[in-house]
Structure 1
Amino acid sequence: MTTEPAQQEGFIDVDSEQTPPVEKDRLYRLWEEGNWSAKALDFSQDALDWREKHGERERAAILWNCSMFLDGEESVTLTLAPFVEPAPRPEDKIFLATQIADEARHHVFFDRFIREVCQLGQDISTTLSAVRPHLSWGFVQVFTELDRAAERLRRNPHSLPLLAQGVVLYHIVIEGMLAHTGQHFLREYTTRTGLLPALGRGIFFVSRDESRHIAFGIQLLRELVSKDRRCKEAAIAMLNRILAWTAGVLAPPNHDWSYITCLGFTPQEMFAFGLRSLHTKLRRAGIDPHEVSELAKLGLDDPFEVQAERIIKFIEGGVLGTGDAPHVTEETMETIFTSMRLVASWSQQRSKPIRASIQWLFDDMQPRYLKLEPGEPPVTGVGRLENPRLTLRCSASDWARLSSRRLNQRQAVLSRRLRISGDWRLALELPRLLAV
């Protein structure tokens, strides 16, 4: 029977809202006490397991996961330095310096596994190049944004709102939701099967390091958003910008869910774990998930498993997790309009409610509508309304792009991909009402 990380020496419980803040000095002492060697791990048994006890699908799945870890660790090692100068206190700067060292060690660990066990590459540079084809579309979008956030901080090192954006992206989303989820399930796999022991041991150490990083990020973000409203607004803006991409980080190649199920888990379990983890960390950092429109689209009051099902349907419909054209079915469109109803309810509660009837006429699918009444839940349905206040005409694929912010409404109108008739003032309210 394994012990949960929160109960193991050196781990900080980042999945409980009851965990008290950790003193910065203790975070530093835990770093000193928890130092480990990526070079000392013995991968000989892992190499044997890889050759003799894993099938082609299991090898592809593990390589896919570890490729993103390797490239991600290399990226965060290089992009964390601009966070040091704007950090408010000397102890923050010192901890961030220890984190850079941690990320470099994690890079060496995953590099050794992929090179010595998976037999990709001859050195650090060639191994990095070899894993690039395995990176998911969502992964590339998220880490490209991290590069941009780090560059903005480098140019404006005294901007606390930019620091808040960097911390929410780096510590809360990338480490606290994405990496935390991947590490959890890879550790579960190695523990349950007894295979790849050095990989499992290394991920144990990586997870322990990351628990310190996440705890630090939660506390720093809480300090920033509690003292400066601009920091909170900037952090929420970053969340609304990047959360649609995060769904695509764990979207497997060609929507082949066997990349997840062959390791003994379901996509629903993985996405629900990640969502639960994100909500917990945001609340601890002083941001209510109900303030984030991209989370409202999934149904904030629904169980995480139900929200996970919506993410999966969006991925399968090409709405999220891909740069390719959506392949929208009636089931996909039903999920899109359910999401619109949820976010419309959210926006009606957060600002002055309006009365409106909106008709969608699709070039290639049944017409749909949305009705809003003050004090009443929004209603969506299939069919035509009599005398709608606003009518929108477009293809189903383009509305899928608009709903996921892959297509800008103004650009769609100017290019005639979206044709509007009726109340143009209401049309200008759509980004606020529907978070499109």
Structure 2
Amino acid sequence: MDAQQWHSHFDARQRRAALWNYAMFLTGIERIERALTAVLLAVPGHAERSFLATQISDEARSRIFFERFLREVAGQGNDTASTLRAAERHLTWGFRQIFGELDRVAEALRKKPGDRPVLAQAVSLCHVIIEGVLAIPGQHFIQRYVEKQGLLPGLTRGLSHVALDEARHVAFGMRLLRDMVSTSKDCRDAVIAMCNRTLPWMVGVFVPPGLDSSYSERFDFTLADVYAFGLKSLESKLERVGIAPRELMLLSLDDRSLSYEERAERLLVLVRAGVIGDDRREPRLSLEAFEILFDGTARALDAAVAASLGGPIEWDFTDAEPWHVIVTNGRVEAKPGRAGTPALRLEIASGDWAKVALGRSPARWALVTRKLRVHGHLPAKAKLAKLFN
């Protein structure tokens, strides 16, 4: 019945979008299945090893399920190898970065199974980031649609079983990670470093080809819905393992007084502007993107250091109107336009500043390559490195 409904009830765009989504599921599960063997050999307790053995079995069963769906329903390939090859072309930039990192961490763990911080990174990536933050929202919205429409009963039933397995895996990983984070500063720092490294890639996992909104809207949800769901899930899980969301660089720049839906819409503005989501794109900033970036810049500035400069900081963009930051009564404000007589003037292209502001490009590299030129008195210039928290 699923194969019949795939052609009779789904239009071409829906088939393309579902194929894109579940191709990433299949490839991701296959990669996790391999990585978990390294985690199994590194965990210290018998109970943990026993659980991971059952998880590897779960992943193998889920891989076979998605493989059969792609082959028997969506017509992708004629055996395991050819179906995986067919799925390869649907992988996003963010997906490739996330799973490249998973391969790297798993290999490091195989070489040093006693390295607890590396184990903490592997668990945070496998159980929290991939299964808890990416996989669950990735399947939630399409599953909701097919259940509501009464379509693809085989897929629907299988997804329900996969979701139960994922919930069990995430709960195990959260408990293990909480124990490591609470008892070891090195493990805690390693997890924060992993989250900082992968958060921009998480955003990129869900960016559809050509930013085509029909990949989600054909199933009655938007990319902003996915980001709001994932952001809420990420922050909740961080807090449960003992890490405050503000400890992550990108989350510290965000206005957490806004709703998750509002924050997701702001994130989507930056995705569309090419600031985040795919590092192969060059940023092209809209006015709204400038406003969001400078809202984050104001949050990142150390107000005391900025006030000690004796004047505003001006961004003199080579390809856009200038912006400036001032400190009034200890409060940092970012505004469009010139600053009058700035204590520091930063000369840079807007796209290059966007890369620096979100961590895509180190500020030091921008200085060395002279993409960033700093003007001002020597005492003010000497404080530049201390300006940003």
- Verify same fold: TM over 0.5: yes
Question: Could you tell me which of 390, 393, 408 is aligned with 2:344?
Answer: 390
Is this contact kept in 2: 1:139–1:245, CA < 8 A? yes
Moved more, 419-428 or 185-194: 419-428
Q: TM-score, normalised by structure 2?
A: 0.94
Distance 1:354 1:335, change over 3 A: closer
Deviation at 1:354, TM superposition (A): 4.8
Q: Distance in 2 between matches of 1:426 and 1:189?
A: 54
1:84 paired residue number: 40
Deviation at 1:202, TM superposition (A): 0.9
Is this contact kept in 2: 1:353–1:374, CA < 8 A? no
Q: Distance in 2 between matches of 1:214 and 1:202?
A: 18
Deviation at 1:200, TM superposition (A): 1.1
1:334 and 2:287 matched: no
Deviation at 1:375, TM superposition (A): 3.7
2:144 paired residue number: 188
1:380 and 2:337 matched: no
What does 1:23-422 align with in structure 2 at a 5 Å threshold? 45-322=1-278, 323-344=280-301, 354-355=306-307, 356=309, 357-372=312-327, 375-376=330-331, 378-422=332-376
Is this contact kept in 2: 1:393–1:418, CA < 8 A? yes
Q: Which amino acid aligns with 1:416?
A: R
**Residue segments in structure 1 that go unaligned for 5+ positions in a row:** 1-44
1:17 paired residue number: none
What SS does the aligned partner of 1:248 have? helix
Is this contact kept in 2: 1:282–1:288, CA < 8 A? yes
State the Cα deviation string for residues 265-309 of structure 1 (Å, max 9, x = none): 122221111111111111111112122222122222321111101
Distance 1:83 1:70, change over 3 A: same
Distance 1:90 1:354, change over 3 A: farther
Is this contact kept in 1: 2:250–2:358, CA < 8 A? no
Distance 1:371 1:164, change over 3 A: farther
Q: Which runs of 4+ in 1 moved over 3 A?
A: 372-375
What does 1:416-431 align with in structure 2 at a 5 Å threshold? 416-422=370-376, 423-430=380-387
**Residue segments in structure 2 that go unaligned for 5+ positions in a row:** none
Q: Distance in 2 between matches of 1:122 and 1:361?
A: 57
What SS does the aligned partner of 2:89 have? helix
What is the alpha-carbon root mean square deviation over aligned residues? Answer: 1.6
State the Cα deviation string for residues 53-106 of structure 1 (Å, max 9, x = none): 111111111011101101101111111111122213111111112111111111
Corresponding pairs, count = 382
What SS does the aligned partner of 2:326 have? strand
Q: Distance in 2 between matches of 1:292 and 1:51?
A: 44
Identical aligned residues as a percent: 41
Q: Which amino acid aligns with 1:318?
A: G
Q: Distance in 1 between matches of 2:255 and 2:99?
A: 26
State the Cα deviation string for residues 235-276 of structure 1 (Å, max 9, x = none): 111111110111111111111111111101122221111111
Q: TM-score, normalised by structure 1?
A: 0.84
What SS does the aligned partner of 2:204 have? coil
Q: Distance in 2 between matches of 1:231 and 1:392?
A: 37
Is this contact kept in 2: 1:172–1:214, CA < 8 A? yes
Moved more, 362-371 or 417-426: 417-426
Deviation at 1:173, TM superposition (A): 1.0
Q: Distance in 2 between matches of 1:354 and 1:341?
A: 10
Select the structure that is richer in helix: 2
What SS does the aligned partner of 2:169 have? helix
State the Cα deviation string for residues 186-228 of structure 1 (Å, max 9, x = none): 2211211111111111111111000010000110010001111
